[in-house]
Structure 1
Amino acid sequence: MTQARRTAPDPEWVLMYRRGISTPKIAATAGVAETTVRYHLAIAARQEPAIRAEHQQALPKSPQRLTDAGRRNLDDIIAFYQAEGRLPTKRSAREKALTAWLHRRRQEAAQGTLSPTYAEALKAIPGWSNPSTKKTDDEARWKQRLAQVSAYRAAGNEWPRHNKTQDQSERVLGVWLHVQRMNDRAAKLDAAKREQLDDVIPGWRQGGPRRSPKSRPSSPRVPSPSSPM
Structure 2
Amino acid sequence: MEHLELFFKSIFVDNMVFATFLGMCSYLAVSKKVSTAVGLGAAVIFVMAITVPLNWLLDQYILQDGALAWLGEEYAAYDLSFLSFIMFIATIATMVQLVEIIVEKFAPALYNSLGIFLPLIAVNCAILGGSLFMQSREIASLDLAFNYGISSGIGFFLAILTIAAIREKIRYSNIPAPLRGLGITFIITGLMAIGFMSFGGMLTGGDEETIKEEQTVQVKVKDNDKELVINEKETKE
Q: What's the TM-score once normalised by structure 2's chain length?
A: 0.26
Q: Whose helix fraction is larger, Structure 1's or Structure 2's?
A: 2
If asked which structure has higher relative contact order (CA below 8 Å, sep 6+), I would say: 2
Question: Is the radius of gyration larger for structure 1 or structure 2?
Answer: 1
